[in-house]
Chains A and B, each alone.
Chain A
Amino acid sequence: MGAALQPLSDVPLRLAPPLTLALFLLPVLAGLAGTLLPAFGYLPALGGMHLSLQPWRDLFAWPGLVSALRLTVTSGLLATAIALTLALALAAAAQHSRLLRRAQSALPFLLAPPHAAMAIGFAFLVAPSGWLARLVSPALTGWAQPPDWLILQDPLGLALTCGLVLKEAPYLLLMVLAGLNQIDAERQLIVARSLGYGRLQAWLKVILPQLYPQIRLPVYAVLAFALSVVDVAIILGPGAPPPLGPQILTWASDPDLSRSFTASAAAMLQLGIVLLAIALLRGLEGLASVLGRRRIGDGNRGVLLDLTIPLWRGLAGGIALIAALALLALMLWSCAAAWPWPAALPQRWSLRTWLAQAVALADPLGSTLLIGGLATGAALCLALACLEHEARHGVRPTQRALWLLYLPLLVPQTAFLFGLQVLLVRLGLDGGLLAVTWSHMTFVLPYLFLALADPWRHFDPRLAQTAASLGAGPWRRFLRIKLPLLLRPLLFAAAIGFAVSVGQYLPTLFAGAGRIATLTTEAVTLSGGSNRRILAVFALAQAALPLLGFALALGLPALIHRRRAAMRMPA
């Protein structure tokens, strides 16, 4: 970069990276410490004055521990493996086809609904008395009564696994597609195909080894999430005993405060499981690369492998279909007046539930919007400042900085939110808007930054140089050239950040001291039972907000740039 581009002084920007790191790492690190100490018996406020192993003894004395661990580990590993396989297989099987482009445009609709809403819709769909069973009963099945099958909340956690896959597969596919943009995939595939390699084999041998490093951290984040999820586990997981995540929540809110120590020990155990699983995956990666390197050069064209392409396409289509049906089931229930078994559709329709719940919706809707808006706005400012700092000084964050950025996504929420709550109580901040917004921002920032970083770094520096040579200063270049050109990815990143905020359950619960109700906390509270129509209304409202965000992100640039033909297409 030329000297003309170096601003004489921009102290605020220079401060941006350390400030950002401090703002979103402080809660994580302080929270971790605040959970680690009670795990070993130290929490003076609750009478724990000395370090001891009693919390661990209590934890291991819990009769449900073995089942809970098995459930947590199997559902977490299985969900990650299936989601990753599906995302990779679809990208490989649908390489530069119309299907992939269609999948790409459908992704926001799958990504937008928060986990809880999707899980509730999924439950409505596949329960023994759910929509799928109603569609084929009694005509095809002969069931006069719903079958007594253990489909939801099954002890093996299969429903929980499926619910996680529904949300994680689209997320990983998004990451895969973003990763593919980083490498010159298409032309390399043409080279491999011209040497006679089958489609899938070419992808596996040429693209995957380059792609995987790009998606490694997102995969770890999915793994950590699946191993420590709470809201989806409450909705789809078994209750007696539950997976570790919900059990930690139960202990943390037990009136017998000695249970808080058990909760902390369990949260540390969960952190250990996540770290172990990541280490295991890392080991598998090493193994795969050693074995794979031998296979790559063996000349096997693997043409027969391509016969499985319809299977992978079908599976991916199936996931999208299930997700769509789950949301549709929510819509039907929210407008159903009477819908007894085994009617395939509601017998009577009414908007009564929506009208009756309008008042109840207003408060949580307002807080969800406010917190989501504030957290996204703050994260956007920080991310922009960091990226501008990078661009103006020609620095690139190291791999280590990237790990730091992912830290809140790799540490189980349970492992630091309890400690964070203790800290917030101490500071007198618990239950306030500031605390909840801050804790949301911790999760919004990584997703938002990652979505924004690529387009920002790929911005053609010559455009800024041209503007600079015409005499525009750094801020003028930023405001008049860069922002308008990058408006589309900027709004898209904001929509992702907003969706992340809307979906937060545990942070809202812990930092909000239960006093701040969002659509997500209300939906999870209602999911325990309650009227299916009302639950559907809340889940739909919860899903609608992020969808609206994505719609705005896609529609606004077109509206703003309607007079600029060249900017109507994605940058």
Chain B
Amino acid sequence: MLRRHLPLVLAAAALAAAALAAIAGPAAAQNAEIQNSDWDAVLRAARGQTVYFNAWGGDDRTNAFIRWAGEQTEMRYGVAIRHVKLRDTAEAVARVVAEKAAGKTEDGSVDLIWINGPNLLAMKQQKLLYGPVTQRLPNFRLVDVQGKPATVIDFTLPVDGMAAPWAMAQIVFIYDAARVKEPPRSMAAMLDWAKAHPGRLTHPVVSNFLGATFLKQALYELTPDPAILQQPASDANFAAATAPLWAWYEALKPNLWRGGRQFPANGPAERQLMNDGEIDIMLSFNPNEASGAIADGTLPPSVRSYVLKRGTIGNASFVAIPFNAAHKEGAMVVANFLLSPEAQARMQDPDILGALTVLDLDGLAPADARRFAALPRGAATLSNAELGRPLLEPHPSWMTRIAAEWERRYSR
């Protein structure tokens, strides 16, 4: 087993080392005093600004959290947040690209984007981001960049300070214990289970990040050499690496909900199906989703979470500022506030949002650490030990290619 995972472990270690190097360099060069005076200037300039925060708007708990953050930044720093609710993060990227194409290099309409993966890579590559910014955010020092390397390396690529992390995510599966005795703990077992229970499993549509992640999760287990996922996908390696995935999916698809001819639009839509009793197993990027949903009545009390035997993919969510943002200072204030222990503890509260913090809890002041210690753990939430260390996200090109290949094969 270890032999099989060795390349992965090595890759992880290499990435962590790269991350440390990336952080340590600029951080050491920064003089704390300069940083403080810089931040005071940012705060002064930010006062009175309204930050257009472009974030996926499909989840009402996230929407409510952003609303709360806006109230707080308005009260404390005079920075208001206007949540531009996106159906897909790509919409905001497209808007910035279009503005650049039209020569609008300042006063752009997007101030802050909730982003990661292929979208972040695209914006970085096309030099559409303002920064580096993370070293200018006082609260970034609290981030656990060693224990949570995904906060500085997104989908195998160093973030280079161009985006600030704000939440950790890890795939968990949620099942209804009232209907499912022993949930399948591997993708191979998932296929057997689906054959035995046709129509009771589904995944979000593959153009949605959660749907694509379901396939990536399967790819991790099925591909002959998972280490290859840490390198870019290419015409040379894609077909061979994904052949077992498509064979598996071909067998799975007819046994999915609605015969695999229709898929929920996103995670919340999948959760609604679960609550309506249409499916028995769903996946989520939020380990606290089950407990939170039980609390607000959107899932039955009998649901529980679990992860696969060989681990599940984890990543971080970031916020980034476009190069032409009209309110860069305000956006930085918001990004910094999202990293504050108070905001992070509220975010991790299963009754509020339940997303995992990016902070290093051991490095916090005692009063701040107590905020996290006081958080309840719902009956349907796994302990950190049960969750296990998350698998590293594959290079973004795998996600892009898998989604395109899925569309080529099945969307006609």
Asked if B259 and A45 sit within 8 Å, CB to CB, the answer is no
Contacts of A338 in B (CB 8 A): 297
The CA of A154 and the CA of B411, in the complex, are separated in Å by 13
A477 to chain B, nearest CB (A): 48
- A430→B408 CA distance, assembly (Å): 35
Interface stretch of the complex, out of A4-12, A167-175, A253-261, A389-397: A253-261
Chain B nearest CB from A70 CB (Å) reads: 11
Given known contacts A64-B407, A145-B278, A254 and B60 CB-to-CB distance under 8 angstroms = no
Q: How far is the CB of B117 from chain A (nearest CB, A)?
A: 12
Residue in contact with A525 in the complex, picked from B58, B273, B277, B407, CB distance below 8 Å:
B58
CA distance A363 to B80 in the complex (A): 13
By the criterion CB–CB under 8 Å, are B263 and A239 in contact?
yes
B263-282 contact mask (Cβ, 8 Å, vs A): 1 or 0: 11111111111011110000
Can you list the 7 inter-chain pairs with the closest CB atoms, starting with the nearest?
Answer: A529-B269, A529-B268, A129-B276, A148-B199, A255-B93, A528-B265, A240-B411
B412 CB–A CB distance under 8 Å: yes
Question: Bound state CA distance, A64 and B409, in angstroms?
Answer: 10
Distance A254 CA – B263 CA, assembled complex (angstroms): 21
Taking CB atoms and an 8 Å cut-off, the chain B residues in 169-216 that contact chain A are 198-199, 205-207
Segment among B5-13, B101-109, B221-229 that sits at the interface with chain A: B101-109
Residues of A within 8 A of B (CB): 45-47, 63-64, 66-67, 127-129, 145-146, 148-150, 153-155, 238-241, 250, 252-255, 257, 260, 337-338, 340-342, 356, 359-360, 363, 422, 425-426, 430-431, 513-515, 517, 521-522, 524-526, 528-532, 534
Chain B residues closer than 8 Å to A430, beta-carbon distance: 109
Shortest B92–chain A CB gap in Å is 8
B237-275, CB < 8 A from A: 257-259, 261-273, 275
**Segment among B83-91, B311-319, B361-369 that sits at the interface with chain A:** B83-91
CB distance from B61 to the nearest CB of A (A): 8
Which residues of chain B are within 8 angstroms of A64 by Cβ–Cβ distance?
Answer: 407, 411-412
Q: Which A residues are in CB contact (< 8 Å) with B205?
A: 239-240
Given contact pairs A150-B261, A532-B272, A129 touches B278 in the complex (Cβ within 8 A) = yes
- Kindly state whether residue B54 has any CB partner on chain A within 8 Å: yes
B99 contacts partner chain A, Cβ-Cβ < 8 Å: yes
18 further contact pairs, Cβ within 8 A, besides A363-B82, A425-B104, A514-B91: A45-B102, A46-B101, A129-B277, A145-B277, A150-B258, A150-B259, A155-B262, A239-B262, A240-B207, A250-B88, A255-B97, A255-B119, A431-B109, A513-B109, A515-B52, A517-B85, A529-B264, A529-B266
Q: B94: which A residues are within 8 A, CB to CB?
A: 252-255, 257
What is B's interface to A at a CB cutoff of 8 Å?
A: 52, 54, 57-60, 63-64, 67, 82, 84-88, 90-95, 97-99, 101-104, 109, 119, 122-123, 198-199, 205-207, 257-259, 261-273, 275-278, 296-298, 300, 407-408, 410-412
8 Å CB contact of A146 from B52, B64, B85, B276: B276
Q: Is the CB of A530 within 8 A of B59?
A: yes
B406 and chain A: residue at smallest CB distance: A240
B258 and A340 contact, CB distance less than 8 A: no
Q: Which of A145, A146, A154 has the most CB of B within 10 A?
A: A145
What's the least CB distance linking A43 to chain B, in Å? 9
Q: List, in ascending order, chain B residues with CB within 8 A of A145's CB.
A: 277-278
